[in-house]
Structure 1
Amino acid sequence: MATPPNPNELMEEAARWLAALDAGSATREDFEAWRAADSRRAVAFAQVVDAFEQIEPLRALHDPLPRPSRLNRRNMLRGGMLAGGIVLAGGTVAMQAAARDYAETAVGQRRTVVLADGTRVSLNTDTRISWRIKGTTRSLWLERGEIGLDVRAVAGPALRLSANGMRFDLEPGIFNARREPETVALLVLKGTADTGRRQVGEGALAQVIGGDLAVRPAEAAAIDRARSWRNGQLVFEGESLDFVVSEFNRYLDDKLVVADPRLSRIRLGGRFTNTDPAELLTALEASFGIHARRAESGAIMLSAG
């Protein structure tokens, strides 16, 4: 029989997750998987959040709170101090985690939100963001999907964008950011961004794969696509059918499927409405003789005539 987890260790682990979520170094998907694996974890995390909400008045009276050393934090956690020992990574960080605002879109939807500093954030399909604009803090987290950013000039620090453990400091300008499971891409359409390792200037694309950062001039097609999705369009300039299908599927509940592998490398271009594949299907049949049929599952199967 497995040994039940020590309650203090559970609280410490929950506090680590709260601090990691706040710092942008953990994904919501990983957190939900951790929490769902054991009901005691969900209880511990709720207690962590509740405790920091209760000591918010102390923060107002003594701001900033002293940041204890790792040894002191561990002793307090195990000794049951401060509402069950919830002091990991500093009280300020964890308390602020509950102060974020959120916005999201479903598959095929778009919306725009305006932050308190005037920054406009356009959310593409199936996207979720959170942010905190308070005092000198200007932080935005891209939790999934793609956003367009019109960052406004205000007194104080740059807007900090976090995604998948990567951080970008955005000066006033226009940007496009996209997060996928293993990558983060930031396109600078106007202005500059700082990765902490190097500057990213206008017309450049910064791409992070794992811990590796690459910065290069953006292709004209990538810039066109970053601008066009805000108008509900997808633009292609000679990309493979595999790529076209994967881009379209981001916007569709009923996915496109290339049923014949021989068709995958066909290249095509054009401008299409992103939530309705009818124009694409017409072009595929007229130009390449590719037929579409709907499967019982709802998927749209593409095959040679």
Structure 2
Amino acid sequence: MATPPKPSELIEEAAAWLAALDAGSATREDFEAWRAADSRRAVAFAQVVDAFEQIEPLRVVHEPLPKPSRLNRRNLLRGGVLAGGIAIVGGTVAMQAAAREHAETGVGERRSIVLEDGTRLLLNTDTRLSWRIKGTTRSLWLERGEIGLDVRTAAGPALRLFANGMHFDLRSGSFNARREPETVALLVLQGTASSDGRQVAAGALAQVIGRDLAVRPAEAVAIDRARSWKDGQLVFEGESLDFVAAEFNRYLENKLVVADPSLSRIRLGGRFTNTDPVELLKALEASFGIHAHRSESGAIMLTAS
């Protein structure tokens, strides 16, 4: 039988998770899986978070002392918890416990936010993000979905955008960021961005797959799409029906299903309202003879007539 971890070891683990979440190098899904596996981990994380919230203001007051490394922060958190006898704050702990604020949208919803530093955000469908604007810290975490950003930095620090373990520093300008399970795409519409010393100029697309970053000129349709979703529209230029259905499904509770595999090769273009597929379904039937019908579950099945 495995020896149960000591309380001090649980504190070390919890502090490491908080540091990783704070740095954007861990995903919420991995964190939740770790926390759910043992109720003692949730307790330890609650203690660590509470200690962090008491320690962080002291660190800020004493700037410009060097910012603690991740290891120093873990030791500081552990010492604060063990020596201070911190009370546990509640039975559940949100990922934003490290003094972050957060916002999200449901499927088919859009939402606009203005941050304390004047940054304007527009959240697309099924999006979740968190942020911290404090002193010289300007950080934003895209946890899922897509956002448009209008950033104003003036002479201050860049806004640091974290997503899927990577980060971008955004200067004044307009940007579009989209996070998928395995990729992150940042489109610079105006201004400049950088990541690990690589510059991303206006009109360029930076795409992260795993830990690999590729920067290339953005296609005109990508720029059009980044602007059109803000007006509730989807734009296609010769993409496959599979792609079209997948894009629409981001906005629909009742999903489109290409039930006949032979239809996947069909390519189409046009501009459609993203939360209502009626015009798309009319075009598919008129141009390709594709019939749509509702399944018992509510899904919209696409079949050859």
Normalised by the length of structure 1, the TM-score is: 0.90
In the TM superposition, what are the counterparts of 1:1-305 in structure 2 within 5 Å? 1-56=1-56, 58-59=58-59, 62-63=62-63, 64=65, 67=68, 70=71, 81-84=79-82, 98-305=98-305
Contact 2:19 2:74 in 1 (8 A): no
Moved more, 258-267 or 47-56: 47-56
Contact 1:22 1:97 in 2 (8 A): no
Q: Residue type matched to 1:99 in 2?
A: A
Other structure's SS at 2:265 match: coil
Residues 1:26 and 1:226: Cα distance change in structure 2 (over 3 Å): same
Contact 1:15 1:48 in 2 (8 A): yes
Aligned CA-pair RMSD: 2.2
Cα distance in 1 between the residues matched to 2:72 and 2:167: 28
Identity of aligned residues (%): 78
Gaps of 5+ in 1: 87-95
Other structure's SS at 1:48 match: helix
Q: Deviations over 1:81-124 (max 9, x none)?
A: 322279xxxxxxxxx96211111101110001001111101000
Other structure's SS at 1:264 match: helix
Q: CA deviation at 1:56?
A: 4.9
Contact 2:123 2:147 in 1 (8 A): yes
Q: Residue type matched to 2:299 in 1?
A: A
Q: CA deviation at 1:196?
A: 1.7
Cα distance in 1 between the residues matched to 2:83 and 2:299: 51
Cα distance in 2 between the residues matched to 1:175 and 1:16: 31
Cα distance in 1 between the residues matched to 2:8 and 2:70: 18
Cα distance in 2 between the residues matched to 1:220 and 1:276: 25
Residues 1:133 and 1:2: Cα distance change in structure 2 (over 3 Å): same
Cα distance in 2 between the residues matched to 1:71 and 1:196: 23
Q: Deviations over 1:206-250 (max 9, x none)?
A: 001011111111111111000000000001011000100000000
Q: How many residues align?
A: 293
Q: CA deviation at 1:9?
A: 1.1
